[in-house]
Amino acid sequence: MHNVTVVGAGLAGCEAAWQLARRGVPVSLIEMKPKRYTPAHHSPYMAELVCSNSFRGDRLENAPGLLKEELRRLDSLILSCADATRVDAGGALAVDRDRFAQLVTARIDAHPLITVLTEEVTHIPAGDCVIASGPLTAGALAEDIVRFLGGHHTLFFFDAAAPLVSAASVDMACAYWGSRFGKGGDDYVNCPMTKEQYLLFHDALCSAQEAPVHGFEDKSVFEGCMPIEVMARRGLDALRYGPLKPIGLRDPRSGTGAYAVLQLRRDNAAGSVLNLVGCQTHLTFGEQKRVFSLIPALQNAEFLRFGVMHRNTYLDSPRLLTSQFAVRSDPRVHFAGQMTGVEGYVESAASGLIAGIALARRLHGLPPIYWPVETAHGALASYISHPEVENFQPMNINFGLLPPLETRIKSKPERCAAVSARALAHLAELYADISRDIATGANAAIV
């Protein structure tokens, strides 16, 4: 069995390499870190989380929770490492970002069929490969991808990350521990604001100086990761119906609610680092400190990392890729990760899983897996490969991508639970076939 090259050791690349190796396919996993870093990367480890440490909802009543459960049942490397390094976050799956990246790296390094190479890739490799170089792909590799795809079919949007603060620097006299929107345990530090304090913060946010980002306009942001200052400019109450929503939050000391509440989530297991939930931004570093310090609980906050913004490039995938994440004109080449237009950590992992399984099965002479659109994996695969999709934009998994139930259910929680149950039933029907290719690959590796 000849080697497959996987370019990029992010979430998608690590997942693709893992799925290939599990099926007896030797993998050369190429990563340019730590020789070179993108503007958003800082850690030498694989699977670095450059934005939030949250993988979002973890219940079957929501689409991200369904996708996670499917990944668990498919033996996803990324989900197993996320579960092993989770931190308290109510109904969400959040991780200690450093421990998570270290664990993924350790498991990849320990696999006998995966060889990790540290170098910068400047062109699409010869032979079978998975390109998972991420949405920050630039330079010679980006130029070669454009050439390979016919000189067009690449798009872009802007993404942003939230600041991190030291937990010890938060003024707990002005904050309290509680759940997020009344769900889960006391996993978030809640920073309440009165109406006067909120109006002062909102005014400062709207007028604060932004860092220069070439080509950026408010309309080019990804809606699921919108800078807080862009959201604030959409209306006085936009933040109060978004990340600063006070619903379900009452100060246990007084029993009173607040006009607006900023929430802080643990960013590591020790709880010494906190993430400003929903506060991704591209303000200058000085303005970030000035504006966020207007929130009483953060008046003396120590900022451990400021928010940043970067341009993300993605493909016009419906015109280019099959549901196996293979290039229509050259099926030896697969793409995976955010550059395919799947948005989010678990979505990136899912794309790597689909691409890795598809390539391994083809190399073993097995028929492809056609993921039912009733599953979250199938819905994502259909979305990125359906040529009729117009105005293609990056998309998080959501129940709108899955077909409706045949029977109408009025209750939304019950309806979503039924959609998830249907998805897992379809996945169970595939599982024997998916498991069989692992056995086939193991026998091939022994031979």
Read off the pLDDT of residues 266-309 as tens digits, 9 standing for 90 and up.
Answer: 988 888 889 999 999 989 999 999 999 999 999 999 998 888 87
**Residue 330 CB coordination number (10 Å):** 11
Given a contact cutoff of 8 angstroms between Cβ atoms, the answer to whether 197 and 295 are in contact is yes
Q: Assess whether pLDDT exceeds 90 at residue 391.
A: no
Cis peptide leading into residue 367 (ω within 30°): no
**Residue 204 CB coordination number (10 Å):** 17
pLDDT confidence of residue 357: 96
Q: Position 71: which residue type?
A: L
* Adjacency order of strands within the sheet including 164-166: 176-180, 183-193, 260-266, 273-276, 164-166, 303-305
Given a contact cutoff of 8 angstroms between Cβ atoms, the answer to whether 399 and 416 are in contact is yes
Band (447; pLDDT cuts 50, 70, 90): very low
Q: Residue 134 region, left (φ>0) first, then alpha (ψ -120 to 50), else beta?
A: left
Q: What is the pLDDT of residues 80-138, one digit of tens each?
A: 999 999 998 888 899 999 999 999 999 999 999 999 999 999 999 999 999 999 888 87
% pLDDT > 90, the chain: 61
Band (443; pLDDT cuts 50, 70, 90): low
* Nearest by Cα to 276 from 194, 196, 363, 163: 163
Q: Residue 94's beta-bridge partner residues?
A: 54, 87
The predicted model scores a pTM of 0.79
- Distance CA(205)–CA(276), nearest Å, equals 15
DSSP state of 411: S
In angstroms, the Cα distances linking 79 to 1, 42, 59, 100 are 28, 22, 14, 10
Given a contact cutoff of 8 angstroms between Cβ atoms, the answer to whether 158 and 216 are in contact is yes
- Distance CA(373)–CA(65), nearest Å, equals 17
Residue 371's contacts (CB-CB under 8 Å, 6 or more residues apart) are: 323, 354, 377, 378, 381, 430
Q: What is the pLDDT of residues 124-155, one digit of tens each?
A: 999 999 999 988 887 888 889 988 988 666 77
Given a contact cutoff of 8 angstroms between Cβ atoms, the answer to whether 187 and 242 are in contact is no
Given a contact cutoff of 8 angstroms between Cβ atoms, the answer to whether 70 and 59 are in contact is no
- Distance CA(51)–CA(4), nearest Å, equals 29
Apex 229 CA angle, 224 and 234, nearest 5: 75
Q: Assess whether pLDDT exceeds 90 at residue 183.
A: no
pLDDT confidence of residue 1: 59
Given a contact cutoff of 8 angstroms between Cβ atoms, the answer to whether 165 and 303 are in contact is yes
Q: Is the dihedral of CA 355, 356, 360, 366 positive or negative?
A: negative
Q: Assess whether pLDDT exceeds 60 at residue 329.
A: yes
